[in-house]
Amino acid sequence: MSVAVITDSASSLPREDLERLGIGVVTLYVSEDGRSVPETDLDLRDLYERLPGMSVLPTTSQPSPAEFADAFAGAVDRGDDVLAVLLSSKMSGTFRSAETGAAMIRERHAGARIELVDSESNSMQEGFAVLAAGECAKDGGDLSQCAAAARATIQRTRFLFAPSSLEYLHRGGRISGAARLLGSALRIVPILTATDGSTGVAGVVRTYTKALERIAALMRADASRFGIRRAVVQEIADEEGAARFAAEMIEPIAGFPVPIVRVPAVVGIHVGPAIGVAYETIDPMR
């Protein structure tokens, strides 16, 4: 029996990886000017170019249980087991929608085998866990083996990023007004990461340049201790800066070419212009 791997659009996996491994995607939604659009249909470059000039930020919403049920049903009808590797349950209701969708399918298809894995993150940190599941499935792994591969990858990944401003996090309700004032007054730049499924702070510096240097230093320390298997630079509305960051700071650490992948819209519109790196180590970090 084959394993069908499914994820959500917050994983930000490039299309070529999705197609290479046959991974299905259930999309989240972005609403702007009263119109809701599937995230997978958005032109991210256009959205991020317009982002700094927006007086009102778009809102985001999760897929419905029925959308997950439809994705799961297609695989179950083919006789496949289903493994869904998804956005952190502490960051979105997406995981809960998938749980409900899976329950709907189990009611209709006795014996359907559907397993869900909480990636505890988003963007390519989530994406690396999805890739591990997809590679396992392509190699003939069964449902338990592929779920184990995804969960093991979570222990080997980190996502570090620095927003160029705290404005978007404040406008989106992600930080308090006091935190925004502190950042504006002292020019403090936080280095953000995923910790236990939620957004946490990995460090605080005084300038954006120092934030990128600190991110590289943190990655270098992990690379020295655990090795680097794969990495991507991620960006929101800063393609040129991301290209420089990749070439000058990240590729010398990784020792191989590092692609640039845009952060998905459902994350990016709440963060604003930012640069970061997601990487997977060879040995577990935690």
* Judgement on whether residues 200 and 102 belong to the same structural domain of the protein: no
Angle (CA) 232 276 127, round 5°: 45
Give the residue-averaged pLDDT of 5-18.
97
pLDDT digits (tens, 9 = 90+) for 177-192: 545 555 555 568 899 9
Q: Are 277 and 234 in contact, with CB atoms under 8 Å apart?
A: yes
Mean pLDDT of 246-275: 97
CATH of residue 237: 3.30.1180.10
Q: Does residue 34 lie in a domain region?
A: no
Q: Report the percent of the chain where pLDDT is more than 70.
A: 94
Indicate whether 13 and 142 sit together in one domain: yes
Question: Which of 91, 125, 154 finishes a domain?
Answer: 154
Q: Residue 36 domain-assigned?
A: no
Residue 42 lies in a domain: no
Q: Quote the CA–CA distance of 208 and 225 in Å, as a whole number.
A: 26
Going from the C-alpha of 193 to that of each of 49, 120, 190, 255, the distances in angstroms are 24, 11, 10, 23
Q: Number of structural domains, the chain?
A: 2
Radius of gyration of the chain, Cα coordinates, nearest whole angstrom: 19
Give strand ranges (E) for 78-186. 81-86, 114-118, 157-163
In a domain, 218, yes or no: yes
My answer on whether 249 and 124 are in the same domain is: no
**Mean pLDDT for the chain overall:** 94
For residue 209, give its domain range: 157-281
Can you give the CATH number for the domain in which 10 is found?
3.40.50.10440
In a domain, 44, yes or no: no
pTM of the model: 0.94
How would residue 165 be classed by pLDDT, with cut points 50, 70 and 90?
Answer: confident
Q: Using one digit for the tens of pLDDT, what is the confidence trace for 76-130? A: 999 999 999 999 999 999 999 999 999 999 999 999 999 999 999 999 999 999 9
Q: What is the mean pLDDT of residues 266-272?
A: 93
**Same-domain check for residues 145 and 176:** no
Chosen domain end from 103, 120, 154 = 154
